[in-house]
Each structure stands twice: as C-alpha cells, then as structure tokens.
Structure 1
C-alpha cells in the first residue's frame, strides 16, 4: 500500500476516535508506521490530510449522483443505495465529515464548501426528476431529510447495523418516505 494511502487510512481512524484536534502529526505518523516528521513529505499537515479525506469521499459521492438510469425513480434508488452502502462501509469517514467539516482550514475550506453545494444540488435534481410534482422548497427539505437519515448511520448502534439487509431497510425507509411526501396535501 502506498504511504500516502496508509497515512490517510490511519488519519481517518485516528480523527474518528479522537477528533481532528485531538490527534497530532506524531501520532498520525506512528499509526501509519512512519515518523511524524516524515509525514510532511506527503502532506503539508493535518489540515491537508483532512481535506484529502473529505475530498476523496466527496469525489465518490458526487460521481454517484450523476444520472445513469433513464427511469428517474430507478436512478434515485441507485444513487440512494450507493450512498447507504458508502455510509455503512465508511462509517468512520462519514462520522469524521459530520463532526469535522467545520475544521477545514484555508485554502481547502472554500472549494470544499462549493463542492458541498454542488452535491446538494445534484441530489435535489435526482429527487426532482423522481418526484416532479414537488415544489422547490419541498425538494430541498426532502433532500436534506434523505441525506440526514443516510449520514446518521455512523451513530447507530452496532447491533442495529449488524442485521442482514440493514442497507435494504434504510433504502426502503427513505423511498417509502418519499412516496409519503407525494401523497401529502
């Protein structure tokens, strides 16, 4: 495994366990099997490591919001399933995002904020295509509700997520919620 990947993987776990501000470069180096000072050959510091982790996650999630299915509801379900699977497999990274996105420093904070807006807009387009009768404000609220549920997964108890078909249950819950919005007065 490449050293920069080892550093990023170790940082994701350390930031999840102790928070971004609770971990120093020496500890990150130790967890990655390197000395703290040698990390600076790969990254300028913790801020860049955090930015890289969040950017990698955003790359994958943004790609999954690109329409690929001619059926809008099928496309929404595909993207939703991808996001649920991502949240289940990458629980520490999703929790890191939830807790530490505000810790991003310049020069990484502003570009990441733009990408977050792009991501939300891409989800709103998916919801709008699948539920064209909804007005813009409702689409925004529904989108935030869907994403909020999916990205709350890292805080769920292990026993809840250990059940077979946990991902299916989450996807079904969101999709059934969307159908309920359609029939609301």
Structure 2
C-alpha cells in the first residue's frame, strides 16, 4: 500500500475509534434513548455529517459499541480464568465475579454501555446480540454445573437460579456504584463474600 494510502487508512481507523469511544461515553451518560449523533460528534470533535462516512445510522454506531462492549467482557473474564488450572470451580466463579465487576465498573466504557443499555435497545438489535449473550451465559453455566457435580455447593442451592441472580447483580452494579460509595476493592470483596457464602457446601 502506498504511504499516502496507508496514512489515510490509519487516519480513518483513528477517526472511527474516536466515534466509537465517544458513543460509549454518551451511551453511559444519556442511555440509548438520549444518545444523539450531534452529541457523539461533539465528544469526538467532529462535524455530525462526518459520522455517516463510517456508519450509516445512529443505531449502527450504537450497535457496534454494544457488540464490542459485550465481547470485551467475555474476553476479559475468559482471560482471568485461563490461568486457573487446578483451582476449584467455586474459586473460578469468584475470580469471574472479580473480573466482571472490575472490568465493567472501572476499565471499559464499552462494557458498561453494553450492559446498561441492553434492555433499552430495539428488539431486532437485541436479537442480533443474542449469540454473544448466550456464549457468556454458557461460560458461567459450565462453571456452576461443574461445581455442583464436584459437590462444592450447598445441595439445597438451585444453581440455575443462583447463577441468574449473581449475573443480574453484577450487571446492575454499573447503575448504582460510584467511587463515593466505597472503594472498588471493597465492593469486589463484598460480592465475593456474598457469592462464597451463598454457594458453599
């Protein structure tokens, strides 16, 4: 590729990334209904029509952020579990709790925007995201089922209900947590204590 063409391609990629970054920030601040292309453009330091060079519509750029955000959660939690060979399934669940919370609360605007806005997206957009959601849910389901089979959990615990309650609580955290409520480490420790005591045999 000629240097000029390569430079233009790199500039285009940087501009596209700025638009996505800005969209994640606006989604977190305003929600799906309140996200406007004009505000995205302002945060990205662009003119609004420039966005249409990269995305055909407001919903297309929002969906790109939602998809990237959820995939980043999957990758981050899977990475946290990758080096836990030999750990109990309960310890793996606790590591997943910590990885999920830390990531969505402090490390990724995309992940937070994805989680906070999923229920407000148009039905057809939510449907297109289902394969990612199922993949992440399966990761957790496998951990819970393995823990149950290994006898690590209280036999009276319904693991399907427990899994959904835990994931629901983790996904709700971006709606209410801020640093003024307490340090991130304290919130993570409390979540892990809650899960450990709730599941342990």
Partner of 1:174: 195
Q: Equivalent of 1:119, from 136, 154, 169? A: 136
What's the CA shift for 1:89? Answer: 0.9
Aligned residues: 179
Q: CA-atom RMSD, angstroms?
A: 2.8
Structure 2 gaps of 5+ residues are 1-12
**2:138 matches 1:138:** no
Contact 2:70 2:115 in 1 (8 A): no
State how far apart, in whole Å, the 2-side matches of 1:163 and 1:110 are. Answer: 33
- Length-normalised TM-score, structure 2: 0.74
State how far apart, in whole Å, the 2-side matches of 1:93 and 1:81 are. Answer: 18
Q: Which structure has the greater CA radius of gyration?
A: 2
- Length-normalised TM-score, structure 1: 0.79
After superposition, what is the alpha-carbon deviation per residue over 1:102-121, rounded to whole angstroms, capped at 9, x for unaligned? 44458643331122122112
Contact 1:12 1:92 in 2 (8 A): yes
Q: Equivalent of 1:148, from 168, 179, 193? A: 168
**2:113 matches 1:96:** yes
State how far apart, in whole Å, the 1-side matches of 2:125 and 2:134 are. Answer: 15
Partner of 2:127: 110
After superposition, what is the alpha-carbon deviation per residue over 1:80-122, rounded to whole angstroms, capped at 9, x for unaligned? 2110111221586555334422444586433311221221121
State how far apart, in whole Å, the 2-side matches of 1:161 and 1:97 are. Answer: 24
